[in-house]
Structure 1
Amino acid sequence: MSKIDRYKAGFKKPDRRYAIYPILHGNSFEKETIETLDRRGFAGVVGNVPYTKDFPNDQPAWDKAINGFREYIDKGMHAWIYDEDGYPSGSARGHVTETHPEFIAQGLYCYKYWRVLIGPRSYRSDIPDAKLYRAVLVPADGKGDPVDITSSLNENNVLYFDIPEGKYYLFIMSIRRLFDGTHATQSWSEPRNYISLSDKEATKAFIQCTHENYKKRLSDEFGKGILAMFTDEPSLIAWQITAGVFPILPWLHSYPKDFEARYGYDFMLACVAVALEVGQDVVKRRCDFWEFIADTVAEGYFASLQDWCHENNLKASGHMLREESLQAHVYNYGSFYRAMKKFDWPGIDQLEVDIAPLMNDSEIPIARFIASFADISGEREVFTEFQDLWYRFTEDKIAGIECYYNTINWHLAMGVNNFTSYASYKSLTDEQIYDINQYTARSGYLLRQGIRDSRIGIFYPEATMWADYILNCNEDARDDSERMVSLEKTFAASAWELLHRQVDFDYVDFELLLNGVVKDGKLTYRDRAYSVIVMPGTRVLQDAVAARLIELAENGITVMFCYELPTVSRETGLASPYAEKIAAMIKDGKMFHEGSIEKIGDFYDACLPDKSRSIRVLDKDGNYNHMILSHCRVTEDGSQVVYITNMGEAVFTGTLSIVGDFAEVFEANSFTGDIAPVAFTKDGDSVTISVSIEPGEGRFYLV
């Protein structure tokens, strides 16, 4: 029997779980809705208990939800539990913050008086309408540590203090509820207080009134008919969507004590470094601050949810806020990467169905970014919350059938194999929707075979992000500084230039680099094996990672630096002790560097070794087509599943070459479920197939 024969049954009649899960809140448990979803071939539903003013004690609402979930399951469908009423997840429609006002998220509002104060002299100042955390005098030259004048606050909330000799700025940090202009007021749900993601006790309260109530009534289906818990767009909200007056830092009452216990100095000094970019050890302190925030968020919220899910045979799942913005990763989570590692089934929020925005190469390719987490962890399940919402509300259009296939094919190429959806399907018939579900399920079946053949790791430069992001009160907390903008451009380009060349890759972090094992010229981690490490815009780097890069290069692994070199030590904020060695290795051709963001593509063409890829897609003139996306998977027996899709506006005609001594090549048709042999030629150690792909079309090849 051919190796390919084992795919035929599972592909022709795929597991229903691999189809699409509509996300429904209002009518998800109505009999007519359940029957319609069943008839249309959907996988099941993402749903939640109807939230009323009596939540979580409304027994009829719970009865309706539980009976509805069971009816889906009885019909052979599956379900995810959506853990909130609207979004962001965490407050249980305000129940947590209403019953525990001490859990309401707070921020440090940072006010710097614009005038330089010259001492010695006496001075008076009122403070913002909030609880004072610290008032300090910051040396105007940016050198030296601030002078703490907090104790000069009198019973009337007025500061009376003496200015020492010299020039200073007055800087006041005040604790205030996070609400005005934040995600608490700007979501599509309702104006709602929120919790701090760093607060484990707040998360416990959320779990107690939400997750535990599902457990009481539905635990017999956990891990069977009920697959996962879905948490939606949690974030620190310590920033303003609308333009603000004062910049904001995240705050929790335990931060100062916990920070000092970990880093050995006053939390206030780190706050000043982040807010004003001044003081001693400014780079180190900025990194300390955001690293501390990152770990409290990852452990306080995301790990708490994951631990509960694991204890109850469920997968922890969900997606974040503003996944596409590197700087938003800082102010929303401290480190997006550290938080995302706490998901079993990581996901994205994709609002677009048109090809142009899907292929926007100025932003992080979020589907490939998020899929990396599941590829590296070994979970293999990556989901999207896709929808035509933007299309309907901003362009007042109804998505045609081609839009659905466009977005599905884009997701498949990026590595997404699990589809949840807010899509309307308004223009489609029941038969067309059924066909889309079959197409998605068949494609999802093949994308669950083997592992993605990523041989390149793109580094997530969190220390550089921490050092470079400038706190501000702009709309969306947008930092337009040259350094931050360049870092975002570099990070996006380093990925898209690989996608444009149909090269598979993962995003990796410092822990993977440090914990991986060097073997046969590759960095191995679990079942991953990287022959190339790309370092985009990495100016600030942990000393241990810099030393590791040198070791990797000395052991035959290609190390490529895009735009910046790691010249600054994350631990000290001073010159990296490894900078000279790295520069020397670049000069000797043992490492590689390109200083221009615009030339990263050419840099790849010149320096990527052949071993970094297993397929090559070329047009009839022998060139790459930037609108072709690909996805290559390799199984234990060496057979491969190769997927390519055309995101361009014209028919693509060219060749697909796959490295390997293969005796058979088949095409798998996700529309019909048929697998048929195709003609190919052998060229050295590769097989080559002639391909012609319509705009928006996707193709699977099995070898």
Structure 2
Amino acid sequence: MNEKIERLLAGQIENHVAPFFWQHGESEGTLRHYMQVIQDSGCQSVCIESRPHPDFCGPGWWHDLDIILDEARARKMKIWILDDSRFPTGFANGAVSKAVPSLCRQSVFANRVDGAANTMNIHVNVSDYIRPPKIHLSKLAAIAKKLSPEPRHFNNDKLISVVAVNTVTNDIKQLNTDNGVLDWKRPSQQWQVYVTGLTNDAGAHRNYINMMNQQSVKLLLDNVYEKHYQHYQTDFGKTIVGFFSDEPELGNGQLYAQNNPLGTEQDLPWSAELEQLLTIRTGDNWKKLLPLLWTSLADKQKVAEFRTIYMDCVTTLVRKDFSNQVGNWCHQHGVRYIGHVIEDEGQHTKTGPGLGHYFRAMNGFDMAGIDDIGGQVMPGGESEPKVGPMERVRDGEFYHYGLAALAASEAAINPEKHGNSLCEIFGNYGWQEGVHLEKYLADHFLVNGINHFVPHAFDPHEYPDTDCPPHFYANGHNPQYRHFGQLIRYMNRSASLISGGHPVVSVAVLYHAEAEWAGKSQPYQKIMHVLTDRQINSQVIPIDVFTEPEKYRTELGHRLKVNQQEYQALVVPYAEYLPATIIEAINKLQSVGFPVIFVDGLPDGVSTGKTQLNHECLQVVSLDSLATTLINEEINELSISPADNRLRILHYHGDNEIYMFVNEGKAPYVGKVVVPNNGSCYAYDAYSNQVFPLKANNKRANETEIQINITPGKSQFIIFDQIDTTELSKTFNTSGVREVLLNWQRSQCHAIDYPEFYKQKSVVLPDDLAVEQPSFSGYAAYDTEIEAQANEKINLVITNAAEGVEVFVNHQSLGIQLVAPYEYDLTSKLVDGENTLRIEVATTLERERSQDDNLFEKELMNHQPLSKSGITGKVILYRTK
């Protein structure tokens, strides 16, 4: 049997979960109690979040961290440390607030000064235009501004150049000024005049490090990382395993900007190192070309070239100065470096809240990180709703098809990641999020290849704390704390099965960052959407795998190989322009017969470099026909019958071939899957930690047909491996005599009072507790009695409940379940005669907390709670002879 399965069945669970543990300066007793609470929930590791702490890197911080580390050592737990006193990473614990301007964030900007359309004579004081333009703030940015301290002011804006651009003839002229005055007669109205400048007075976080300045980033290392090393050097690499960066940003423009590609009104990030790189790439022309970052020409290729060069330089410096520098420091000091950037709404390819290029930003990290917070991934959310919290546009297609793919792909193709990916998960969904939704989210990211998690969050602050709920324990007030612990154990078991090897995928999809910088482009997630819905597994790969083949272990031939991944085809999303490096790689692949498929058209030109596509045998297909084309060409690994666009399948190659199945639809999936493997196989249920027999037929060489039945909200692993049949559990059976139990005695209690129940009354199921008591959150217990014989085969099914369920027979627990239908075998606990049957249901805290007066919480929650309570379905007994 698979060694991992053997260990799991024996109760040996690897740890893949490190929840946030927020710090506010709590008492020693509270800190020690919470370390126990976190470990009791199934987590053997924890990420200490400093954001709310009043004395980060001061005496109070070291006092609290001493206590936590003492507990961690005693419990053999591991500690990660979030690496700053403010969110996002980059504040450097206030060091930038006092730093010289050259170490602070810099931005370039362009102000158009040509006046009215019929004005030919331009006569202006240039100094009037040396201020960054004001930006209309989004609702979220405006609220955050009110809640944030006054930003640092520099008043040191500097002129870079005055440039005239002819958007028709493509001419660009650098204009001279006389004593700060521009006096120029425009030859025609086609000319636009721009004053470009350099400023420290732009962006929402002016007292944060400059990600493109090596010495600026060193402020973070000196004021956070080094200080922790000085205090806890002997713990590094032992109890302290690493640091976590949370959403580091370039920081230009407005906070959490959306729809901010090059060409839109915003300041753009700058540094002296960037100026040096641009000079190497363009000579002194960069001063003249700078307005092309905001305006376009008739010659779109010229615009595409400079924008690509600019962003290529920006993201190269982010990789060198930030992620690699921090990662190298960690590795030199015996610890690891994890975290994530902002990926929302495509920010992973942009400046502002992003770092410009996901794969380059992640380069120095030891795990490929992403996060899912605040209603991003949600059941049925592939396309709806279109608008999320704070009236922000919500791109469900990206969240459901593109988000996890970023981390899973980087983990697989970058040898330095060793297959490790990470998702910060569950955070800021509001109190309406319970184990139903958390199980869905966990399965979504697991089946998409994510194998480490940072749940958000354990909060020891006095309950109720309105800061970004849900909180998994809430000082004993969360009814679902024990249920959450069962979810964590399930996640650990599942993640261990998809670690240590690599995913098996058929198709590589080209990352669209360079295409987006240059012009019109098609985001990679649109490709992955149509492939995923047809069970064609794919990964997204950056152009860097072709420009740095040694780093990525790239081989171009009849198979495209990147690290351990071997692809059968490369799909290129529509791009108006592509760099020469990828064109050259495509030509080489096509020359040896490797399938390269362009979607919705060929590029119009080359953004940087000199080369041309070899148009012989080029294959162009529409997005709608892409999946069918790949299937017809047998570039798909497996097939299902009947078709279903919500069945998700992960194929993982480890010690054995492993398949994970998740049903994200609304109805059970019953059908057959044909997989490219032969031999014995069995099913593994990672939640119940049991193995089951399968109905499987070896159809022909390297092909097996397996019958599957996947209920929404549940998962199943199929393992190709030999197994002793005595270890197999029996499949749950509902073929016996059916009896619906209608009449029950219901009682209830709040989580903090458990198990002291009160208010017993007679009820008939389904229960209407949520209507009867609209503000109640806690436990609802349902009691009845059944007649039985000892060891009589009786199975129990609860068709629906809100939310977590625990069943007791004769006061003995049969365990906690999270997702309907809840299925229990009562046989082992039955005695002759009368038997007590008790069902306890734990609600979310949404109803109790629905009146919290918190602006962010009100935006995230429905004004009227939607969570149901208690048993909302039927309770059915099946007696089998």
Shorter-chain TM-score: which interval? 0.7 to 0.9
Structure 1 position 361 matched with structure 2 position 400: no
Listed as ranges, the matches of 1:458-537 within 5 Å are 458-468=509-519, 483=520, 487-488=522-523, 491-514=524-547, 515=549, 518=555, 521-537=558-574
Instruction: Write the distance in 1 (CA, Å) between the matches of 2:652 and 2:491.
Output: 17
- Relative to structure 1, the CA distance from residue 434 to residue 362 in structure 2 (aligned partners, 3 Å threshold; closer, same or farther) is closer
Q: Deviations over 1:298-341 (max 9, x none)?
A: 21211111111111122221111134416753553232222122
Q: Which amino acid aligns with 2:525?
A: A
Structure 1 position 696 matched with structure 2 position 716: no
- Relative to structure 1, the CA distance from residue 324 to residue 250 in structure 2 (aligned partners, 3 Å threshold; closer, same or farther) is same
Matching residue of 2:872: none
Instruction: Write the distance in 2 (CA, Å) between the matches of 1:149 and 1:585.
Output: 49
Instruction: Write the distance in 2 (CA, Å) between the matches of 1:338 and 1:702.
Output: 35
- Check conservation: 2:684, 2:691, Cα contact below 8 A: yes
- Check conservation: 2:572, 2:596, Cα contact below 8 A: yes
Q: Which amino acid aligns with 2:665?
A: G
Matching residue of 2:360: 338
- Check conservation: 1:20, 1:437, Cα contact below 8 A: no
- Relative to structure 1, the CA distance from residue 362 to residue 520 in structure 2 (aligned partners, 3 Å threshold; closer, same or farther) is closer
Listed as ranges, the matches of 1:215-294 within 5 Å are 215-241=229-255, 246-278=265-297, 281-294=302-315
Which structure has more helix as a fraction of its residues?
A: 1
TM-score, normalization by structure 1: 0.84
Q: Which amino acid aligns with 1:678?
A: L
Q: Which amino acid aligns with 1:382?
A: S
- Report which structure shows greater RCO (CA 8 Å, sep ≥6): 1
* Residue 701 of structure 1: how far off its partner (Å): 0.8
1:679 to 660, 672, 695: 695
Q: Which amino acid aligns with 1:335?
A: H
Matching residue of 1:480: none
- Relative to structure 1, the CA distance from residue 279 to residue 146 in structure 2 (aligned partners, 3 Å threshold; closer, same or farther) is farther
* Residue 246 of structure 1: how far off its partner (Å): 4.9
- Check conservation: 1:197, 1:301, Cα contact below 8 A: yes
1:161 to 146, 158, 183: 183
Gapped regions of structure 1 (runs ≥ 5) = 185-191, 469-482, 587-591
Q: Which amino acid aligns with 1:213?
A: K
* Residue 204 of structure 1: how far off its partner (Å): 0.3
Q: Which amino acid aligns with 1:67?
A: I
- Relative to structure 1, the CA distance from residue 498 to residue 63 in structure 2 (aligned partners, 3 Å threshold; closer, same or farther) is same
Q: Deviations over 1:369-426 (max 9, x none)?
A: 2111111124211111112413x1xxxx522321111011001011111110115236
Instruction: Write the distance in 1 (CA, Å) between the matches of 2:12 and 2:103.
Output: 46
SS in 1 for 2:397: coil
Instruction: Write the distance in 2 (CA, Å) between the matches of 1:388 and 1:338.
Output: 26
419-428 vs 434-443, which deviates more?
A: 419-428
* Residue 200 of structure 1: how far off its partner (Å): 1.0
Instruction: Write the distance in 2 (CA, Å) between the matches of 1:59 and 1:121.
Output: 60
Instruction: Write the distance in 1 (CA, Å) between the matches of 2:161 and 2:652.
Output: 57
- Check conservation: 1:459, 1:536, Cα contact below 8 A: yes
Q: Deviations over 1:50-108 (max 9, x none)?
A: 8767654x234213213313422320221211101231101134333334454331222
* Residue 681 of structure 1: how far off its partner (Å): 1.3
- Check conservation: 2:32, 2:67, Cα contact below 8 A: no
SS in 1 for 2:534: coil
Matching residue of 1:473: none
Matching residue of 1:456: 507
Q: Which amino acid aligns with 1:33?
A: Y
Instruction: Write the distance in 2 (CA, Å) between the matches of 1:677 and 1:312.
Output: 48
Structure 1 position 347 matched with structure 2 position 369: yes
SS in 2 for 1:387: strand
Q: Which amino acid aligns with 1:500?
A: D
Instruction: Write the distance in 2 (CA, Å) between the matches of 1:377 and 1:407.
Output: 25
Matching residue of 1:132: 158
- Relative to structure 1, the CA distance from residue 303 to residue 232 in structure 2 (aligned partners, 3 Å threshold; closer, same or farther) is same
Structure 1 position 628 matched with structure 2 position 647: yes
Q: Deviations over 1:349-377 (max 9, x none)?
A: 10136312367325552112211111112
- Relative to structure 1, the CA distance from residue 367 to residue 112 in structure 2 (aligned partners, 3 Å threshold; closer, same or farther) is same
- Relative to structure 1, the CA distance from residue 207 to residue 506 in structure 2 (aligned partners, 3 Å threshold; closer, same or farther) is same
TM-score, normalization by structure 2: 0.68
* Residue 121 of structure 1: how far off its partner (Å): 7.2
Matching residue of 2:812: none
Instruction: Write the distance in 1 (CA, Å) between the matches of 2:100 and 2:123.
Output: 42
2:325 to 304, 308, 312: 304
Q: Which amino acid aligns with 1:593?
A: V
Structure 1 position 551 matched with structure 2 position 588: yes
Instruction: Write the distance in 2 (CA, Å) between the matches of 1:357 and 1:86.
Output: 31
1:569 to 597, 601, 606: 606
- Relative to structure 1, the CA distance from residue 564 to residue 265 in structure 2 (aligned partners, 3 Å threshold; closer, same or farther) is farther
Instruction: Write the distance in 1 (CA, Å) between the matches of 2:620 and 2:309.
Output: 28
- Relative to structure 1, the CA distance from residue 520 to residue 401 in structure 2 (aligned partners, 3 Å threshold; closer, same or farther) is same
- Check conservation: 1:645, 1:696, Cα contact below 8 A: yes
Instruction: Write the distance in 2 (CA, Å) between the matches of 1:121 and 1:315.
Output: 57
Matching residue of 1:187: none
Matching residue of 1:316: 337
Matching residue of 1:33: 34
1:425 to 472, 490, 494: 472
Matching residue of 2:495: 444
Say what the alpha-carbon RMSD is for the aligned residues. Answer: 2.8
- Check conservation: 2:348, 2:355, Cα contact below 8 A: no
Q: Deviations over 1:253-275 (max 9, x none)?
A: 44333320243343223422211
Instruction: Write the distance in 1 (CA, Å) between the matches of 2:601 and 2:241.
Output: 43
- Relative to structure 1, the CA distance from residue 122 to residue 325 in structure 2 (aligned partners, 3 Å threshold; closer, same or farther) is closer
Matching residue of 1:380: 419
- Check conservation: 1:48, 1:81, Cα contact below 8 A: yes
Instruction: Write the distance in 1 (CA, Å) between the matches of 2:452 and 2:285.
Output: 45
- Relative to structure 1, the CA distance from residue 44 to residue 53 in structure 2 (aligned partners, 3 Å threshold; closer, same or farther) is closer
- Relative to structure 1, the CA distance from residue 55 to residue 225 in structure 2 (aligned partners, 3 Å threshold; closer, same or farther) is closer
Listed as ranges, the matches of 1:394-405 within 5 Å are 397-405=431-439
- Check conservation: 2:338, 2:365, Cα contact below 8 A: yes
* Residue 128 of structure 1: how far off its partner (Å): 3.2
Percent of counterpart pairs with the same letter?
16
Matching residue of 2:658: 641
Q: Which amino acid aligns with 1:585?
A: C
Q: Which amino acid aligns with 1:568?
A: G
Instruction: Write the distance in 1 (CA, Å) between the matches of 2:265 and 2:17.
Output: 47
Structure 1 position 542 matched with structure 2 position 542: no
- Check conservation: 2:248, 2:355, Cα contact below 8 A: no
Report the number of matched residues. 643
Matching residue of 2:104: 104
Instruction: Write the distance in 2 (CA, Å) between the matches of 1:261 and 1:344.
Output: 31
Matching residue of 2:172: 146
- Check conservation: 1:115, 1:169, Cα contact below 8 A: no
Instruction: Write the distance in 1 (CA, Å) between the matches of 2:371 and 2:38.
Output: 22
Instruction: Write the distance in 1 (CA, Å) between the matches of 2:276 and 2:3.
Output: 62
Q: Which amino acid aligns with 1:312?
A: H
141-150 vs 34-43, which deviates more?
A: 141-150
Instruction: Write the distance in 2 (CA, Å) between the matches of 1:141 and 1:40.
Output: 62
SS in 1 for 2:698: strand
Matching residue of 2:841: none
SS in 2 for 1:240: coil
115-124 vs 230-239, which deviates more?
A: 115-124
Q: Which amino acid aligns with 1:85?
A: S
- Check conservation: 1:270, 1:286, Cα contact below 8 A: no
* Residue 183 of structure 1: how far off its partner (Å): 4.6
Matching residue of 1:43: 44
Matching residue of 1:406: 440
